[in-house]
């Protein structure tokens, strides 16, 4: 039995998923990178050390997240680069990030019992 292609469309012929590649430029398009992107690529190609963090051990509180962040930045001795490329320095980076992430509110929402 021959296989038939699976067509993922919603009403009006619109595709269900709008897939795009942001990693490669298309034919005929100039590649325009910012200075920050070029620096990032240079660090990656130069095999700069990186860290991947897995928060484990049942740390579900704001205090546990702050403790992990303090471990990562060695209590303010190392700079922290966010996923948006911002460089954070100082002793209170962990507390500032936790406050910015609004972890207390997220924890309260998780504990809230849904009403029907």
In a domain, 55, yes or no: yes
In a domain, 116, yes or no: no
Q: Residue 106 — pLDDT band, cuts 50, 70, 90?
A: low
CB 48 within 8 A of CB 81: no
pLDDT digits (tens, 9 = 90+) for 21-48: 666 666 766 777 888 888 888 988 998 8
In a domain, 29, yes or no: yes
| R_g of the chain, CA atoms, integer Å | 22
* Residue 104: both structure tokens together: 């207390």
In a domain, 12, yes or no: no
In a domain, 72, yes or no: yes
Q: Residue 77 — pLDDT band, cuts 50, 70, 90?
A: very high
Q: How many domains in the chain? A: 1
Q: Residue 6 — pLDDT band, cuts 50, 70, 90?
A: low
Domain extent for 74: 23-111
In a domain, 13, yes or no: no
Place of tokens 């298309």: 26
- Backbone φ/ψ region at 72: left (φ over 0), alpha (ψ -120 to 50), beta: alpha
CB 73 within 8 A of CB 94: yes
In a domain, 34, yes or no: yes
In a domain, 16, yes or no: no
| Mean pLDDT (whole number) for 53-81 | 80
């Amino acid at each position: 039995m021959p296989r038939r292609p699976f067509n993922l469309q919603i009403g009006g012929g619109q595709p269900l998923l709008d897939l795009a590649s942001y990693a490669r430029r298309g034919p005929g398009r100039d590649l325009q990178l910012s200075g920050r992107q070029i620096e990032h690529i240079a660090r990656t190609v130069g095999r700069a050390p990186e860290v991947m963090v897995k928060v484990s051990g049942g740390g579900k509180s704001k205090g546990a997240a702050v403790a992990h962040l303090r471990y990562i930045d060695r209590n303010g001795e190392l700079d922290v680069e966010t996923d948006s490329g911002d460089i954070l320095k100082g002793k209170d980076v962990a507390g500032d990030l936790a406050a910015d992430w609004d972890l207390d509110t997220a924890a309260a929402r998780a504990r809230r019992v849904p009403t029907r």
